[in-house]
Amino acid sequence: MPKAHALFPQGLHFNWFSQLDSTNGEALSGCWPEATVIASDCQKAGRGRLGRTWLSPPGQNLYFSLVLYPRLSRAHWGGLSLAAGVGAARCLDQLGVAVNLKWPNDLLWQGRKLAGILLEARDDKLVVGMGLNVNQARFPAQLPATSLSLATGKSWRRDYLLALLAGEIFRFCSLWGQGQQQEIITYWKEYDIILGQEISVLRGRETLRGKAVNLSPGGGLILESQGVRHLLNSGEVSIGKCME
Ligand code: BTN
């Protein structure tokens, strides 16, 4: 695996830890400059969306966070989650893994979760955290999850994957910041799995049901429910009218 403070191509600074509570936590609390990648072999308290835990056993998967200081107004930071998803999806696609994207930031393979992205912000810093199941062979029965090795029947080197993925995520987040939102949304639609479908969106305690009709220019989801269009900036999507 990469050594701490090795500088890879693409202008990213990679820092590899054998164990952290959470790479997002370290990236948020430490004094790290733009384009730093914090990766860890395992996490003791990996964080998922909506306050969930991200199971992070050692020696198998990728857990990493990219530090950004976006020169965008805060209201536009949410779209960087789509940019990160597009960067990751295109990278895996180029490696021969046909993934889908589920708004706002899940990567799926044949309907099972392959990776998740969690954005967290503090002051002017934004951390893009990604957990990718790489070589894990088994998952708890209740989790509809998969890994690259289950999807492809081979084991994967995590160091190359980390360099490639972090590079593409950084590139697409930079493009988003440079005004290429529309192009990125067009790319997203090549991988999207929910547009045109009846979905349920969990937002706090509320569930909205309707049809996913489009993405807004800022990366929000436009949901049509009983003839009314709602613009959603966050939420947990399930395909179908009932929550899974
Ligand atoms: C999700 O719930 O789908 C998002 C999961 C994000 C997990 C990653 S693992 C690396 C980074 N550090 C964390 O604590 N969480 C993210």
User: 17: burial class by Cβ within 10 Å (0-12, 13-18, 19+)?
Assistant: middle
| Tokens 């290429």 found at | 180
Q: Name the residue among 16, 15, 20, 18 with its Cα closest to residue 44.
A: 20
pLDDT given at position 75 = 84
**Domain positions in the chain:** 2-191, 198-239
How far lies 170's CA from each of 35, 128, 141, 224, in Å?
7, 9, 34, 33
Q: Give the number of the atom of ligand 1 that is nearest the alpha carbon of residue 21.
A: 14
CATH architecture classification, 2-191? 2-Layer Sandwich (3.30)
**What is the rounded CA–CA span in Å between residue 166 and residue 97?**
17
- Alpha carbon of 165 to ligand 1 centroid (Å): 15
What does the pLDDT read at residue 76? 86
Q: How crowded is residue 25: how many other Cβ atoms within 10 Å of its Cβ?
A: 19
What pLDDT was estimated at residue 25? 98
Tell me the CB-side half-sphere exposure of residue 117, using CA atoms within 13 A. Answer: 29
Q: How far is the CA of 217 from the centre of ligand 1 (A)?
A: 25
Taking the CA of residue 105 as reference, the ligand 1 atom at the shortest distance is: 3
Q: Can you give the pLDDT at residue 6?
A: 44
- 116 C-alpha to center of ligand 1: Å? 6
Q: Helices (H) and strands (E) in the chain — how many of each?
A: 5, 12
Residues 6+ apart with CB under 8 A from 112: 144, 145, 146
Tell me the mean pLDDT per 10 residues along the chain, length 244.
46 95 98 97 96 95 97 89 97 97 96 97 97 96 95 96 96 94 97 96 89 96 95 89 48
Instruction: Report the residue among 19, 65, 66, 118 best suited for mutation to probe ligand 1: largest number of ligand atoms under 8 A from its CB.
Output: 118
Give the residues surrounding ligand 1 with Cβ less than 6 Å away: 22-24, 43, 46-49, 52, 54, 63-65, 106, 116-118, 129-131
From CA 188, how far away is CA 9, in angstroms rounded? 26
Confidence (pLDDT) at 44:
98
60-91 in b/e form (b: 16+ CB < 10 A) is bbbbbbbbbebeeeeeebbbbbbbbbbbbbbb
Nearest CA to ligand 1 atom 3: 116
198-239 — its CATH code? 2.30.30.100
Its sign, for the CA torsion 65, 68, 73, 76, is negative
Distance 10 CA to ligand 1 centre (A): 23
Cα of 145 from ligand 1 centre, angstroms:
14
Alpha carbon distance 173, 79 (integer Å): 9
What three-state secondary structure class fits 59?
coil
Q: Count other Cβ atoms within 10 Å, centred on residue 143.
A: 11
For ligand 1, the distance from its centroid to the CA atom of residue 96, given in whole angstroms, is: 24
Q: Can you give the pLDDT at residue 234? A: 87
Same fold, 2-191 and 198-239: no
> pLDDT at position 243, please?
43
Pocket probe for ligand 1: among 36, 43, 47, the residue whose CB has the most ligand atoms within 8 Å is 47
Q: What does the alpha-carbon distance between residue 153 and residue 141 come to, in Å, rounded to a whole number? A: 20
User: What atom in ligand 1 is closest to the CA of residue 25?
Assistant: 14
